[in-house]
A and B are shown apart, each in its own frame.
Chain A
Amino acid sequence: NAGVTQTPKFQVLKTGQSMTLQCAQDMNHNSMYWYRQDPGMGLRLIYYSASEGTTDKGEVPNGYNVSRLNKREFSLRLESAAPSQTSVYFCASTRALGGTGDVGPQHFGDGTRLSIL
C-alpha cells in the first residue's frame, strides 16, 4: 500500500525560484490537505481540497497556490520562494470532509524537506 506519496523528499531552492510539490494518494479519498511543520509550531494548514474541483485557504496560505489535478493528486506551488518558506511540507488525505457524519483520520505522506537560501 503506497498511501500518500510526496515528491520530492528534499529540495534546496534559491530565493525567488519557483517549484511545485507533488502529492498523490491511492486510497480513493475525497479530501486532501497541505500542511507545513516548523519547530515548536505543530502543523499549520496551508490549503485544503474538500473534494475534486474545490480548494480553500487554510491558516497560512500566503505565498502558495494549489491545484487539485484530479481525485488522486493535489499539488502545492511556490511561485517565488522566500527563506520564511523553509519548512517541512506534509500532504494528507481523508475519506471525506464531514458530510458523512464522521471525521476520518488523516493519512500523511512522509514529507518534503524544503530549504530556501
Chain B
Amino acid sequence: AQSVTQLGSHVSVSEGALVLLRCNYSSSVPPYLFWYVQYPNQGLQLLLKYTSAATLVKGINGFEAEFKKSETSFHLTKPSAHMSDAAEYFCAVAGGSYIPTFGRGTSLIVHP
C-alpha cells in the first residue's frame, strides 16, 4: 500500500520568501517520488522526480526536493518565490505497482 500526505491545503508566502511545501509518504517498497505543478485550466507538469540516484533532487524553475527516508518525507523548496510560482502543487508516490498515488494538493499563494 502507498499513500501521500501533503500538509496544508494552502500555503501563502511573500514574493522573495522561501517556499516550503510538505509531503510525507508511505510505501512498502523503495518509492519513486514526484512533484507536479498545475497552473489554472491546465494539466499537471512534472517539476522533479526522485529515483534513488541522489537524495537532493533539482527540478525546473528553481525548485528542489530532498528525500529523507528516516522521516518518510519529500518536501519541496525554492529559495525565493516569484509571482509566477502561484499554482497548485501535487506530490505523488509510486511503489511496487508503479502506479502513482497523488496527494490532495497544496495551493501556493504568492503575495507581492
Contacts and interface: CB of A to CB of B under 8 A. Distances in A.
Interface residues of B, number: 21
Contacts of A98: 97-98
Given A43-B90, A90-B43, A106 B104 contact: no
Contacts of A92: 43-44
Contact of A103 (B9, B32, B41): B32
Contacts, number: 50
Interface residues of A, number: 24
Describe B's contact surface by its main secondary structure. Answer: loop
Interface of A: 4, 33, 35, 40-45, 48, 58, 90, 92, 97-98, 102-103, 105-111
26 contacts: A40-B9, A40-B104, A40-B105, A42-B102, A42-B105, A43-B44, A43-B90, A43-B102, A44-B102, A45-B99, A58-B99, A90-B43, A90-B44, A92-B44, A103-B32, A103-B51, A103-B94, A103-B98, A103-B100, A105-B34, A105-B46, A106-B46, A107-B46, A108-B43, A109-B43, A111-B42
